[in-house]
Amino acid sequence: MAEKNVVVIGAGVAGLTTALLLSRVPGYRIVVAAKHMPGDYDIEYASPWAGANYMPVSLRGTDAAEWDRKTWEVFNKLALNCPESGIHFQDEDCEIRNRSKDVGSATADWFSELLSSSPWFKNVVPSFRTLSKEELGPGIDSAINFTSVCINTALYLPWLVSKCLENKVIFKRAIFRHISEASSLNIHPSGHVDVVINCTGLMASKLGGVEDKTVVAARGQIVIVRNEVEKMVNLSGTDDGDDEACYIMARAAGGGTVIGGSYQKGNWESQPDPNLAVRIMKRAIQACPELTGGKGIEALDVIRHGVGLRPVREEGTRIEKEKVGNLWVVHNYGAGGAGYQSSYGCADAAVRLVRAALEVKTKL
């Protein structure tokens, strides 16, 4: 079979993982073309801002749950065998704390599967258990605990690039106004493109030929601190507002501790809100006093305040193939707050669609 030429638009976790999995299949010549690349920090580029951890929010029996399940298998192997990927198990486990009063809030809705005492992933992640009443802190009605990973995105994204480069994937900077430009501009060295893979995240809402208006921003504000903590902690909600969140996780290999957050739908504000930052820090030390050894927020040693926009799609991540004019397009965008934890499952599904699209093309 002659080599097939593919352009992946996007160098976030979706584009890079898809390019990597496709590059392991013989017969593809792949270009990743994107406005932003690992190393950049921009409000249109969600991936560097993520925590990122594995905390499945997908619902039982859905494709999304299957994508998350497949991704755990890979993250588990990387955390065990590949420290250079920037993924580690935290020394202690991931604890999800549930307050009954949060039911119905944006955060609790988003976490609904996580807050179940018997979520689908209880047999996937190691050491899953429900905490006893005696172990619960004040104001907490129930909690689960399991082994999870935290990804240092500043190491992991360049690691994905390096793995792609080993497999001869080409990287280029480009800005597309319309998806068809990925095949018509001088992007692929062959001058001909068989398939374009659309991994544009939130910007799928603006890219010509796609313009998916069901993709909206869910603004996440974070603080990265030098203070260290053993446990990863997440709460079902906060007393400060429906769209605020409380989580703490320590990135691998000196990446600092990420404390968050918020889930502000429809909000594109790129600058950190200083008042929200104070609330985030106060909640974090209340949930995890060991962060500051019992002292106040002035004992937090701040590396950076940040804001990222989760690409939330109404019907969930779009993994589909379609013809745009004469061009085969495979979509992989709209993962919301789950772009890392679903990354290998989504990329695997997208690669299957690329292969299916090209088989159809040869039959036509």
User: Minimum distance from CB of 48 to ligand FAD (Å)?
Assistant: 7
Tell me which residues in 78-137 interact with ligand FAD (CB under 6 A): none
250 binds ligand FAD (CB under 6 A): no
CB 49 within 8 A of CB 311: no
CB 317 within 8 A of CB 64: yes
- Which residues have CB under 8 Å from 74's CB, separation 6+? 344
User: Minimum distance from CB of 309 to ligand FAD (Å)?
Assistant: 6
156 binds ligand FAD (CB under 6 A): no
337: number of CA atoms within 13 Å, CB side? 23
Please identify which residue in 6, 8, 12, 351 interacts with ligand FAD, judged by CB under 6 A.
Answer: 12
Rounded Cα–Cα distance for residues 91 and 280 (Å): 23
239: number of CA atoms within 13 Å, CB side? 7
280 binds ligand FAD (CB under 6 A): no
256 binds ligand FAD (CB under 6 A): no
Please identify which residue in 4, 8, 45, 145 interacts with ligand FAD, judged by CB under 6 A.
Answer: 45
Rounded Cα–Cα distance for residues 10 and 35 (Å): 7
Rounded Cα–Cα distance for residues 115 and 17 (Å): 29
User: What's the distance, CA 69 to chain centroid?
Assistant: 14
56 binds ligand FAD (CB under 6 A): no
Which residue number, 40 or 322, has a Cβ lying nearer to ligand FAD?
Answer: 40
148 binds ligand FAD (CB under 6 A): no
CB 232 within 8 A of CB 94: yes
355 binds ligand FAD (CB under 6 A): no
Tell me which residues in 281-320 interact with ligand FAD (CB under 6 A): 308-311
10 binds ligand FAD (CB under 6 A): yes
Please identify which residue in 6, 7, 8, 9 interacts with ligand FAD, judged by CB under 6 A.
Answer: 9
CB 113 within 8 A of CB 252: no
Please identify which residue in 203, 216, 252, 357 interacts with ligand FAD, judged by CB under 6 A.
Answer: 203
36 binds ligand FAD (CB under 6 A): yes
* Number of helical (H) and strand (E) elements in the chain, helices listed first: 7, 17
Q: What is the CA radius of gyration of the chain?
A: 20
Which pair of tokens denotes residue 191? 């001058």
Give the torsion through C-alpha atoms of 315, 317, 321, 322, to 10 deg.
50
Please identify which residue in 80, 103, 175, 253 interacts with ligand FAD, judged by CB under 6 A.
Answer: 175
Which residue number, 222 or 329, has a Cβ lying nearer to ligand FAD?
Answer: 222
Please identify which residue in 119, 201, 209, 316 interacts with ligand FAD, judged by CB under 6 A.
Answer: 201
User: Minimum distance from CB of 297 to ligand FAD (Å)?
Assistant: 19
Which residue number, 5 or 48, has a Cβ lying nearer to ligand FAD?
Answer: 48
User: What's the distance, CA 263 to chain centroid?
Assistant: 14
In 3D, which of 177, 212, 221 has the Cα closest to residue 312? 212
User: Minimum distance from CB of 359 to ligand FAD (Å)?
Assistant: 26
Site size for ligand FAD (CB under 6 A): 43
In 3D, which of 239, 89, 241, 211 has the Cα closest to residue 150? 89
Please identify which residue in 6, 7, 21, 49 interacts with ligand FAD, judged by CB under 6 A.
Answer: 49
Which residues of this chain interact with ligand FAD, rule CB under 6 A? 9-15, 34-36, 45-47, 49-53, 174-176, 199-203, 207, 220, 222, 260-261, 308-311, 333, 335-341
